[in-house]
Structure 1
């Protein structure tokens, strides 16, 4: 999905939004997390991230089962416990009607917890798919099998999805882009640092081990693993770098099916589209044409037997977590331990709850809304969101670098942003998906098939702009440029440490206002979102002079983040992360401006010994209270368009004058940036 999203961060257990206790009384009942989380042995001017959160980090080391620890995991544990209760209650209800939501949730969860049945089944749930791959005899059947695998939740050779046409948001289009890499990002195949070089070596060993676990002998598995690595390296060679994927114009190449066939004649496009259930398609959007030229050559360069091994690997790689223990553990050993530094698996119930929510979140969401959602959530979220939009409009009107004509168009786009908050008014119909207690892997595959069919059924129909891309129990948010909308799920209202009481406005506007609404609205005006108009179409609404000034400002934020060293010799990718960095800066700034209009700010009353300004900036720091293992950090800076949490705090705050005055940041402090270098865009 083309969602510009930020992983969010606010949670807890319960919060009664219909009542609010006096702040002084609340202090006596519960400690204030903003005050308690600090490491006051540090100066805020040296490293605000660790000053704001270091006290919590010292008390809560990263568990063996995790690659990180902080507010994300705290939230995850809370929501997982709630979903676990939903799953167990559903599984224990033997009287639920076949096909009901409760039956599907209960049976899915029960099948995942039945480790004895999973062990006994081995790879049998994939036998039919393996037989289909074994039956491939020629180029035609190879294309058909590759295409089929895309309909069951795997993505060999390339990536494919159906979404809104970037230049005509009222229509759905078919998108083909680069993909097919087991290591995820092209740079893993070429970077020469010691860690990445070792990952490549371990990857080949991992592929060999997995092939042996599905029945290949040691010699064949070793040979085939080397071939797979060679194939993927060639796919990586034809792939664009992470930062190059951010340009929506350069990654929009609409062509007729005839042109696509001419681009990659060896792929048998007609057969591929028919198998993918879009035989009537007349056009496609190819993200990276050079990738398909490369794939076209690989289709002939490698033998049918080579491709069959590659497809088996792709299949087993996709479904490994749902198979027997040996396969599951080998998958964990590489992707969690080698890639992310996690040394111990999570308890089985956590893994199964996570998968149940991922597969049946639409059904679980309905129960979550009824049983766990605080009253008044939608109303409070909308209140905060509208306040952020109001100050955003004020900021645009006062910009000294934008012409009146472009300002008016920006204001029009801002006014048209749709805010989806809380939960959808209508739920997706999952009545056709089949779930029972026989096979966990089969249940996962059935939901994957349903997801694909649900997606593909939209082709040729009018765009449904009411559809949600997240569940109400998902701690995340997004901006969708094609709909010019933001989505903030219900659970984002809850803040850990404020259970049973309303957080003060500094906390609400530092987290929900700044890190959520302000951030997501700013995505409509970041380096990518700014290229879409108020209707969600790629359409230049800028004057040339204004766009030139905007790009000069975004270059400053790219330069700022390029200088942040995450690990020795490894830096933030300023180009790849610039959209999120622009959104973080705009978000915290708009959150602060909206907070200034509240009674709390105007009263200047201290809470827990902290001024309103201190509380606001500490709350923003709380939003990104995440401590990450070095292995995971290394992966993040190679594959993620979000900068590590430390720089999502220190980066934007070091550009805001009020932050300097609040914490007495002075020249010589590490957080200090000369006024001439401070970035201010929106």
Structure 2
């Protein structure tokens, strides 16, 4: 929902540049045993760097995909588990953060108590749905459950695109049980049809467990209702356009544009009474969904909400619900063979409810101040290279270059953890109440969000916890953010030469910087305002380059008969290509004019690209590939590794590619952006 462009990958921490003498030759930083020596980098960089690993590694039963990123995420989860265990052993004072973290985790882990409680903990929520008798009561219920139960009208609080100093309510589209509208609408797609059948089976299992009459008929009624929602939803490509999704209006104007639904009751119940302004991300969807909620059978809507409530709480309900939840969300949609260990599910839930409380302890244990200082140094090095690159662009005029440099100079850098930690004092966590804890945590978080509406933006706030293995760029804040957990081993090698590290962490940092200049981020200025700072000719030149990248990636076919959506993945592909280009320039800059040593038979330039490729080491099950092709703006890892490198002059120079090599691309055909 957030208009934040995030990179889901593994980043590496590295030392910077020196040329200082070392007592022994440095390690290459490459995992040589993972190479496939039968494949030449000139033919397939991804396979050359990762082929043996791909052939010999089995995806764990509890995962739908597996690679370097997942290994690091597992490490982070284990560390968080140790923190929680330590907190739980303390004699925590009632109402303290330690008590809340310990009791939340323990309640989630106690499946025997969950099984014994049956449906009783969620019965008040189901009873509140059954009590709905009018459309006004429906609107009130949906507003009151914002953030708690997925509904057709999800809400978020974000900076106003035209005035990024002020928080604004933003509506979105939602309420589907399947991952995307395409799962409902593309009926001739055999794979998506299989997922729809699995969803029907899941709903029937929930109905039988909960004692809902006519499980098969009930499931079909719900799917029919959701299909009508899907019919009025926007596609993923349209949702990437900030101009289209920024539609400021007053609540009164919303009521005029989307009649048939009591918006006043809805917003009041959602803790947003007297709201002055909001932004409707998909106006036509609001019109269509409001009409549907005004005309559809109230009994069908209540049945639909009951299933949404059961699905939202299935992992903390008895075994029949948990098993059904995994069979659909895990096995059918992602191909996983077994659910995540219960402790790891519990860690994920604690992170969601009390993430910064755990994160504060995490950084004390695992993120020393020296790591933050080195990371800041590295980021500034990449920014300096980006600045030089903008100056040398051949396709951009001086007027637009000046605007781009102004934006780059205003980047805010957040490393490791927030300066101000979140206050969980008002969150009520009770021992042995897994369902209630989850419901109260969701309501607590929404109230925290709602309180920010129409008030000044707090630029100190983070959108990820320190223990999250991820990174992001936020256009309205013009900031790049790197949580502590992504800045650590297993890939950081203090004894390694810089080349492979620059190819990994350098490109990751460059990727996030580049999101400010991709097809979306480039529509926001240095102050985070949605504003056209381009000349018309420069924008046309930029769009023409983007069109070439769209065509390149749409030629890739990750699954037989399924090509990449080049428009959906354009922003991430621009960031990959630009990030790799900038990181390479930064690496060469770090050499200070001296040649890099040859290590393990590879030149520094070759190790840079092999390091880039190994950072993307990953394999996925077909079900997960299908899901990601439908909903994910990132390209699959092999196409990220090869798709960016094939356009890079440095790659072709390093490996001396020539006509006939599978990754050869003529210089005049290579796509160069930033």
- Shorter-normalised TM range: over 0.9
1:21: how far off? 11
Establish whether residue 363 from structure 1 lines up as the match of residue 364 from structure 2: no
TM-score between the two structures when normalised by the length of structure 1? 0.95
Establish whether residue 422 from structure 1 lines up as the match of residue 416 from structure 2: yes
1:663 paired residue number: 655
1:567: how far off? 0.7
Q: Is contact 1:172–1:459 with CA below 8 Å preserved after alignment?
A: yes
Aligned positions of 1:6-21 closer than 5 A: 6-10=7-11
Establish whether residue 113 from structure 1 lines up as the match of residue 109 from structure 2: yes
Tell me, what secondary structure is at the counterpart of 2:566? Answer: coil
1:676: how far off? 2.8
From 232, 238, 260, the counterpart of 2:232: 238
Distance 1:116 1:601 in 2: 65
2:624 paired residue number: 632
1:252 paired residue number: 246
1:672 paired residue number: 664
Establish whether residue 343 from structure 1 lines up as the match of residue 337 from structure 2: yes
From 149, 156, 181, the counterpart of 1:154: 149
From 139, 145, 159, the counterpart of 1:143: 139
Q: Is contact 1:595–1:601 with CA below 8 Å preserved after alignment?
A: no
Runs (5+) with no aligned partner, structure 1 = none
Distance 1:450 1:10 in 2: 32
Tell me, what secondary structure is at the counterpart of 2:218? Answer: helix
Distance 1:184 1:65 in 2: 20
Aligned positions of 1:40-79 closer than 5 A: 40-79=37-76
Q: Is contact 1:381–1:422 with CA below 8 Å preserved after alignment?
A: no
Residue 32 and residue 538 in structure 1: after superposition, are their counterparts in 2 closer, same or farther (change >3 A)? Answer: closer
1:504 paired residue number: 497
Tell me, what secondary structure is at the counterpart of 2:10? Answer: coil
Q: Is contact 1:600–1:612 with CA below 8 Å preserved after alignment?
A: no
In the TM superposition, what whole-angstrom CA distance separates every residue of 1:109-164 from its partner, at most 9, and x where no partner exists?
1111111111112222211111110100011111111122214x222112211111
Q: Is contact 1:34–1:615 with CA below 8 Å preserved after alignment?
A: no
1:595 paired residue number: 587
- Residue range with higher mean Cα deviation, 355-364 or 594-603: 594-603
1:572 paired residue number: 564
Distance 1:355 1:23 in 2: 47
Tell me, what secondary structure is at the counterpart of 1:669? Answer: coil
Distance 2:249 2:572 in 1: 30
Aligned positions of 1:375-414 closer than 5 A: 375-414=369-408
1:377: how far off? 1.3
Distance 2:83 2:21 in 1: 30
1:486: how far off? 0.7
Tell me, what secondary structure is at the counterpart of 2:594? Answer: helix
Distance 1:132 1:504 in 2: 62
- Residue range with higher mean Cα deviation, 262-271 or 434-443: 434-443
2:176 paired residue number: 181
Distance 1:527 1:537 in 2: 15
Q: CA RMSD in A?
A: 2.0
1:412: how far off? 0.2
In the TM superposition, what whole-angstrom CA distance separates every residue of 1:334-364 from its partner, at most 9, and x where no partner exists?
1111111111112211211222222211011
Distance 2:11 2:102 in 1: 28
- Residue range with higher mean Cα deviation, 390-399 or 208-217: 208-217
TM-score between the two structures when normalised by the length of structure 2? 0.96
Distance 1:11 1:605 in 2: 21
Distance 2:21 2:223 in 1: 60
Tell me, what secondary structure is at the counterpart of 1:558? Answer: helix
1:24: how far off? 3.8
Distance 1:560 1:344 in 2: 36
Q: Is contact 1:523–1:529 with CA below 8 Å preserved after alignment?
A: yes
Establish whether residue 172 from structure 1 lines up as the match of residue 167 from structure 2: yes
1:216 paired residue number: 212
Residue 461 and residue 300 in structure 1: after superposition, are their counterparts in 2 closer, same or farther (change >3 A)? Answer: closer
1:276 paired residue number: 270
Q: Is contact 2:261–2:291 with CA below 8 Å preserved after alignment?
A: no
Q: Is contact 1:11–1:75 with CA below 8 Å preserved after alignment?
A: no
Establish whether residue 129 from structure 1 lines up as the match of residue 129 from structure 2: no
Distance 1:393 1:524 in 2: 13
Q: Is contact 1:413–1:534 with CA below 8 Å preserved after alignment?
A: yes
1:502: how far off? 4.7
Tell me, what secondary structure is at the counterpart of 1:475? Answer: coil
Q: Is contact 2:172–2:282 with CA below 8 Å preserved after alignment?
A: yes
1:23: how far off? 8.0
Distance 2:593 2:224 in 1: 60
Tell me, what secondary structure is at the counterpart of 1:174? Answer: strand
Q: Is contact 2:550–2:570 with CA below 8 Å preserved after alignment?
A: yes
Distance 2:575 2:349 in 1: 30
Q: Is contact 1:176–1:286 with CA below 8 Å preserved after alignment?
A: yes
1:102 paired residue number: 98
1:498: how far off? 4.5
Distance 2:558 2:309 in 1: 34
In the TM superposition, what whole-angstrom CA distance separates every residue of 1:440-466 from its partner, at most 9, and x where no partner exists?
222222221121111111123211111
Establish whether residue 583 from structure 1 lines up as the match of residue 575 from structure 2: yes
1:609 paired residue number: 601
From 83, 90, 106, the counterpart of 2:80: 83
1:195 paired residue number: 191
1:240: how far off? 1.1
Tell me, what secondary structure is at the counterpart of 1:421? Answer: strand
From 261, 268, 275, the counterpart of 1:267: 261
Establish whether residue 619 from structure 1 lines up as the match of residue 616 from structure 2: no
Residue 112 and residue 22 in structure 1: after superposition, are their counterparts in 2 closer, same or farther (change >3 A)? Answer: farther
1:209: how far off? 1.4
Distance 2:66 2:290 in 1: 44
1:35 paired residue number: 32
1:305: how far off? 0.7
2:4 paired residue number: 3
Tell me, what secondary structure is at the counterpart of 1:565? Answer: coil
Aligned positions of 1:311-330 closer than 5 A: 311-330=305-324
Tell me, what secondary structure is at the counterpart of 1:242? Answer: coil
Tell me, what secondary structure is at the counterpart of 1:545? Answer: helix
Distance 2:486 2:196 in 1: 38
1:610: how far off? 2.5
- Residue range with higher mean Cα deviation, 660-669 or 301-310: 660-669
